[in-house]
Amino acid sequence: MSGPDISVVICVYTEDRWEDILAAVSSVRAQSYPALETLLVVDHNAALLDRLTKEYKEATDVRVLANAGPRGLSAGRNTGIAASYGEVIAFLDDDAVAERDWLRHFAAGYTDPHVMAVGGRTEPIWASGRRPDWFPAEFDWVVGCTYRGLPRGQVKVRNVLGGNASFRRTAFDFAGGFATGIGRDGDRLPLGCEETELCIRLSRARPDAVLLIDDRAVIHHRVPGPREHFRYFRTRTYAEGLSKALVARSVGAGKGLESERRYTTRVLPAGVARGLRDAVLARPGGAGRAGAIVAGVLTAAGGYVVGSVRARRGGVTYSVVGIEGAPGIEGGPR
């Protein structure tokens, strides 16, 4: 099959997601465009590392390895990149499953040599079986999913979303790896934006780089019960503000908040209006959705202010490292 060889990296950290991890790997194995390999990167959990090693000891298409850097998602991804053989490296969340043509649509984007990254669409699988009435689709990023307001089709974007994304290997040669010190770290405060920072850094290093989202590249992401509650919504929006402040401090508010300005001035007011209209029409959750949007904006703004103060005082830092030891595609598994 013509097209780039694609390595898939799945970062894992807890045995609580055992069945989800197995389902994620199975979805990669079922792709219509076969992956070159799947790498399971275990984040400082010896029991999980041992269990997965035994589970896939006979597999030729799955490799299990320990995160070689500090605890956290960014270092885990960097470990996977360095150990992979593919011309393209794709990332899949450990609690998600990919549709059959996920990698096929990623591969199609790389026919243009200027394309350095291709992301996809992430749909929520709610633990309760349905979206909570109060939960606005404009804030689906809170649960790691594609939110209302993102452009549809195959379009150029500032950044892809990390749980459903791919990068050409050379992107990391130009920009370095994912920054450690931001992004998720197990069950701690759910920070994010590491893929945003990387994509902006990549675009600066290669001004001709093209980053795409193709919404035909679909994955389905589990949303556990606790994340369906307003308490998590509030925590996550606050953490997003903290993260955005750190990114803006690094790359400048102009680029760091470019997409967010459109989102807050166009997408969210339309969402509030939609919610109030639904409330007037006595549709379930309309007032709750409008209120959640307002609360989300205020909480994120509060996080941004706190994060900006911390960044100025030097209380929050992150580091970017090069990807060393990447074997490249020559001599890799076939």
pLDDT digits 0-9 by tens, 209-263: 999 999 999 999 999 999 999 999 999 999 999 888 877 776 665 554 667 788 8
**Those residues with Cβ within 8 angstroms of residue 292's Cβ, 6 or more apart along the chain or in another chain:** 134, 135, 136, 139, 230, 233
Are 194 and 74 a contacting pair, CB within 8 Å? yes
Q: Tell me the backbone φ, ψ of residue 100, rounded to 5 degrees.
A: -60, -35
So what's the pLDDT on residue 333? 38
37, 47, 51, 99, 259 from 15: Cα distances, Å: 22, 8, 9, 24, 36
* Fold held by 6-228: Spore Coat Polysaccharide Biosynthesis Protein SpsA; Chain A (3.90.550)
pLDDT digits 0-9 by tens, 170-186: 999 999 999 886 545 44
So what's the pLDDT on residue 256? 47
Q: Delimit the domains of the chain by residue range.
A: 6-228
Rounded CA-CA distance 90/96 in Å is 13
Alpha carbon dihedral 324, 102, 224, 126, in 10-degree steps, equals: 160
CA angle in degrees (0–180, nearest 5) for 105-167-174: 150
So what's the pLDDT on residue 187? 45
Rounded CA-CA distance 147/224 in Å is 18
So what's the pLDDT on residue 162? 83
Profile the chain (334 residues) by mean pLDDT over runs of 10 residues. 92 97 98 98 98 97 96 94 98 98 98 97 97 97 94 92 94 92 52 83 95 97 97 94 80 62 90 96 96 96 89 64 56 35
Quote the tokens at residue 112.
Answer: 């243009």
Quote the tokens at residue 78.
Answer: 């960097």
**Those residues with Cβ within 8 angstroms of residue 277's Cβ, 6 or more apart along the chain or in another chain:** 286
Rounded CA-CA distance 95/23 in Å is 8
What is the model's pTM? 0.90
CA-closest candidate to residue 103, choices 28, 168, 169, 157: 28
3-state secondary structure of 217: strand
So what's the pLDDT on residue 242? 86
So what's the pLDDT on residue 247? 79
